[in-house]
């Protein structure tokens, strides 16, 4: 019934910097909502306002039908939160932290805890100071996922996980979705992760929401980069609608193509004869460069190489 989260016109200033500049976000109950944006876009600030850790300067925010600031404590019984940068108490073991956070939230599913520990391959006996970043993140994830709550707020939950554990994470969130009674807000700067998990997506940039909708509605945003080696020169590609940045060198071509024009482009290629073909989804930076970033080309690219590899 209704929306799990509804935020409109949220403004937050830190001294002279404006972190949120009229942000809107609606998360429907029962959906997995992607909260997508580059670092510094205001995702974490929004989540912290939703948690009642900060107060907005303007705008309204509703969380599970309550005021996130005034009703913080009762609301927190119904949600679990995984911070992007998890710090643990050096002298407490991971298992103790999982149990403690779960109990302070109001309860933990023991069977689920055992199951998650096994799947995330975490040794719960190590002390907080001995865990790596990824393992600290697993502790917070297990504590959140083993809690019986309506809403999960996950702030870049996979930023420290290796690809194998990312796969486990996707699998677990997939199960949450199938259970159908949980709402998930998943903040991320990785488009493919959001694509894989989310029903709907809100894209933020510089403290504002720039797009929101289902993935199908956002299909126009999704371009695919294609690199191919052909049997001969592909002369007709340039004329196709939806093909961008075409570069041809002898029999090699590389271009970006809108998702809707992919089929036509591939037909052209196979008509010539395809020797090799690689295609990859655009990174978030490319997406932003393609669609929104015409005014400030100086925006620094994120030096995140693992992401480019995706």
Partner 1 sequence: MTTNAGATLTGSTPTGTSASGGTLTGTGNLIRLILRRDRFLMPLWVVVFPLVVAGYVTSFSDLFPTPAELQQYADASRGNASFVALYGQLHGSSLGQLVNWRAGFIPVMVGLASLLTVIRHTRTEEEAGRRELLGATVVGRHAGLAAALISTVGANVVMGVLLAALMIGQQLPTAGSTAMGLEFAAAGAIFATVGAVAAQLTESAGSARGIAITVLGAVYLLRVVGDVSEISGGGLGWAAWLSPIGWVQRLSPYQDEQWAWLLPAVLVTALLSWVAVALSARRDIGSGLLAARLGPAEAAPSLSTSLALAWRLHRGLLAGWAAAFAALGVVLGGVANGVGDLVGTNQALKDVFARIGGREGLVDAYLVSIMVILGLITAAYAIQATLRLRTEETAGRAEPVLATAVGRLQWAASHLVFAVLGPAVVLLISGLFAGLTYGASIGDVAGQVPRVIAAAAIQLPAVWVLAALAVALVGLLPRLAAVSWGVLVVCLLIGLVGTAIQLNHWLLDLSPFTHIPHLPGGDVAAMPVVTLLVIAAVFGAAGLAGLRRRDIPTA
Query: Which residues contact partner 1 by CB under 8 A?
Result: 44-45, 48, 51-55, 72-74, 76-77, 79-81, 83, 85-101, 103-106, 124-127, 129-130, 140, 153
Structure tokens at 271: 């008509």
Residue 274 Rama label (left phi>0; alpha psi -120 to 50; beta): beta
C-alpha dist (Å) from residue 222 to 62, 63, 214, 243, 298: 31, 30, 12, 12, 23
Q: Shortest approach of partner 1 to residue 288 CB, angstroms?
A: 23
Close Cβ partners of 302 (under 8 Å, ≥ 6 residues apart): 38, 39, 189, 285
Q: Which of 97/221 has CB closer to partner 1?
A: 97
Residue 102 or 282 with smaller CB distance to partner 1 = 102
Least separation in angstroms between CB 86 and partner 1: 8
Q: Which is nearer to partner 1, 104 or 238 (CB)?
A: 104
CB 12 within 8 A of CB 20: yes
For partner 1, the closer of residues 57 and 229 by Cβ is 57
Those residues with Cβ within 8 angstroms of residue 184's Cβ, 6 or more apart along the chain or in another chain: 31, 32, 33, 151, 152, 154, 173, 176, 177, 197
> What is the closest distance, in whole angstroms, from the C-beta atom of residue 58 to partner 1 in the complex?
15
**Closest distance between partner 1 and the C-beta of residue 297, in Å?**
28
Helix (H) or strand (E) holding 99: helix 94-105
- Minimum distance from residue 161 beta carbon to partner 1 (Å): 18
Nearer to partner 1, 28 or 127 (CB): 127
The angle formed by the CA atoms of residues 199, 202 and 207, to the nearest 5 degrees, is: 160
C-beta closer to partner 1: residue 21 or 99: 99
How far apart are CB 144 and partner 1 at their closest, in Å?
Answer: 9
């Amino acid at each position: 019934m209704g929306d799990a989260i509804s935020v409109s016109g949220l403004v937050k200033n830190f001294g002279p910097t404006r972190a949120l500049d009229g942000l809107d976000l609606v998360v429907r109950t029962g959906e997995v909502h992607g909260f997508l944006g580059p670092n510094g876009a205001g995702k974490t600030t929004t989540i912290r306002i939703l948690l009642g850790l900060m107060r907005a300067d303007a705008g309204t925010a509703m969380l599970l039908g309550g005021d996130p600031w005034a009703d913080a404590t009762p609301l927190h019984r119904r949600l679990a939160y995984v911070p992007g940068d998890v710090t643990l108490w050096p002298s407490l073991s991971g298992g103790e932290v999982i149990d403690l956070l779960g109990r302070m939230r109001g309860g933990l599913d023991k069977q689920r805890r055992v199951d998650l520990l096994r799947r995330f391959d975490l040794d719960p006996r190590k002390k907080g100071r001995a865990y790596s970043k990824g393992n600290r993140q697993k502790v917070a994830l297990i504590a959140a996922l083993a809690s019986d709550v309506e809403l999960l707020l996950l702030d870049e939950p996979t930023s420290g996980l290796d690809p194998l554990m990312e796969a486990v994470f996707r699998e677990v969130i997939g199960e949450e979705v199938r259970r159908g009674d949980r709402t998930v807000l998943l903040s991320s700067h990785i488009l493919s992760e959001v694509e894989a998990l989310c029903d709907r997506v809100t894209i933020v940039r510089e403290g504002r929401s720039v797009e929101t909708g289902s993935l199908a509605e956002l299909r126009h945003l999704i371009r695919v980069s294609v690199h191919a080696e052909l049997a001969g020169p592909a002369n007709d590609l340039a004329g196709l609608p939806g093909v961008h940045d075409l570069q041809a060198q002898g029999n090699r071509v590389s271009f970006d193509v809108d998702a809707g024009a992919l089929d036509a482009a591939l037909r052209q290629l196979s008509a010539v004869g395809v020797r090799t073909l690689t295609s990859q989804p655009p990174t978030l930076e490319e997406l932003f460069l393609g669609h929104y970033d015409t005014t400030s080309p100086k925006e620094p690219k994120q030096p995140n190489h693992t992401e480019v590899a995706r």
